[in-house]
Amino acid sequence: MLDLKSLIKHSLNSKLYYEKFKGVSDFKKLPFLEHDEILQRPLDLLTDKQNVASKIYFSSGTTGKPKTFFFSIEDIENISDLCKRFSILEGVNSSDRVLVVLPMALWPVGELTKLGHIKTGATVIPVDLSSSALKNVNSIINIIKPTIISSTPSVLMEYIKKYDAPHVRIIETTGEKLTGGMRNKIESAFGGVVYDAYGLSEAVIGVECEVHDGYHYWGDYVILEVIDPNTNEEIEEGEVGEIVVTCLKRKLMPIIRYKTGDLGRITKQRCICGLNTPRVFIEERKEFSIQLSAGVSITHSQIRKVFDNIFGETPNSVEILISHKEGIDKLYFKITCETLNDDKYVIQALQNISIDFLDLIRLNLIEIEVSLAKSMKEDIHGSAIKFIDLRT
């Protein structure tokens, strides 16, 4: 186990942290770790280049190139202990059968979630989201009759239409934004209570309790700070700002003061459930937004809102490819949906993602193209809405 002081001392074995931290001893004065540093210099973050990682994973790459993450056996062991704590708070026990439907190969969350449940003594059935087993998931469900299902909200929303098995007790969601509407639909289709977990590839952070009022997190695993994203100054408890995370359990590739880009707030007030740990509330995930011209950004939730308001449902999948040519951002929406068939109507609706977005279209700084398809692509990875940034 690492305390903060020994983690910082240990991090100096890495080239990048040595450059950043040398001569600074106060935690609050350590320079922040930025997204691009992890993306471009993953090897320089390693504290031991000889001791090769036991596992290498990649971020889901929701907004562009994936980041590379290295874990030692000890790191995996420690972080899956936190996932076990999540499972226990959700109410998972050794008599449960847990079906985990997540990407198992490249994304760390699937593996860590699986190990966390195993550590509770429950029986765990991992089904990789990209494997052929996914096609047979209904027969797997009927054989093992899971009491718990763990997956992403969008995958569960997709299964709602096909799910034909006894109700489960608990549905664990992770990996993307869970809206209130999604939570209601998932709970009524699967018959259990949804517990949402919050984490990033950089750090597993927190989970809901039975009160479902924010994510509980634990100071022996993570330190969260909230800063003003423009000035980088720490802000008052309860105010919304950018979440900065330090993971106390990653030794091979430490994550210290990482600017997540996620907007949220924290509270240290005791929860109604009786737990006294702090809680974090997330307003917007950076992973689910993308920057366009003139400082305008668009988010998954804005896109979801357009579809919900105008068409009454979110499509099965929306892939947005963003390219840039001669001063114009081109947004190509690849939409898979059973009910939509008029692409001109969809383009018109999408122009209203936001007022700023509409302004950019009127100024000819953005062009939208849409393609509509009926069939579901098989390699769903985490999120039903996905930005693919092709700009260089």
Binding site for Zn ion (CB under 5 A): 209, 211, 271, 273, 275
The 8-class DSSP code of residue 167 comes to P
User: Shortest Cβ distance from residue 185 to Zn ion (Å)?
Assistant: 24
What is the residue type of 184? N
Considering the complex, state which of residue 140 and residue 273 has its C-beta at the smaller distance from Zn ion.
Answer: 273
- Distance in angstroms (rounded) separating the CA atoms of residues 183 and 248: 31
CA distance from start to end of the chain: 41
User: Shortest Cβ distance from residue 90 to Zn ion (Å)?
Assistant: 12
User: Shortest Cβ distance from residue 284 to Zn ion (Å)?
Assistant: 22
Considering the complex, state which of residue 206 and residue 315 has its C-beta at the smaller distance from Zn ion.
Answer: 206
Residue 56 to residues 22, 79, 106, 240, 252, Cα–Cα distance (Å): 28, 15, 8, 33, 11
Considering the complex, state which of residue 37 and residue 196 has its C-beta at the smaller distance from Zn ion.
Answer: 196
Give ∠ CA 15-20-245 in degrees, rounded to 5. Answer: 100
Distance of CA 319 to the CA centre of its chain: 17
User: Shortest Cβ distance from residue 212 to Zn ion (Å)?
Assistant: 8
Considering the complex, state which of residue 272 and residue 363 has its C-beta at the smaller distance from Zn ion.
Answer: 272
- Grouping H, G, I as helix, E, B as strand and the rest as coil, residue 185 is helix
- Distance in angstroms (rounded) separating the CA atoms of residues 71 and 180: 34
Q: What DSSP element (H or E) covers 36?
A: helix 35-40
- Distance in angstroms (rounded) separating the CA atoms of residues 167 and 298: 37
Residue 260: is it exposed, middle or buried by C-beta count within 10 angstroms (0-12/13-18/19+)? buried
User: Shortest Cβ distance from residue 176 to Zn ion (Å)?
Assistant: 22
User: Shortest Cβ distance from residue 236 to Zn ion (Å)?
Assistant: 22
Considering the complex, state which of residue 209 and residue 366 has its C-beta at the smaller distance from Zn ion.
Answer: 209
User: Shortest Cβ distance from residue 271 to Zn ion (Å)?
Assistant: 3
Considering the complex, state which of residue 58 and residue 218 has its C-beta at the smaller distance from Zn ion.
Answer: 218
Residue 12: is it exposed, middle or buried by C-beta count within 10 angstroms (0-12/13-18/19+)? middle
Considering the complex, state which of residue 192 and residue 278 has its C-beta at the smaller distance from Zn ion.
Answer: 278
CB-CB contact of 16 with 42 (8 Å): no
Q: Quick one: how many helices (H) and strands (E) in the chain?
A: 11, 19
Q: Are strands 241-247 and 193-199 parallel, antiparallel or unpaired?
A: unpaired
Q: Are strands 170-173 and 297-299 parallel, antiparallel or unpaired?
A: unpaired
Considering the complex, state which of residue 143 and residue 211 has its C-beta at the smaller distance from Zn ion.
Answer: 211
User: Shortest Cβ distance from residue 195 to Zn ion (Å)?
Assistant: 11
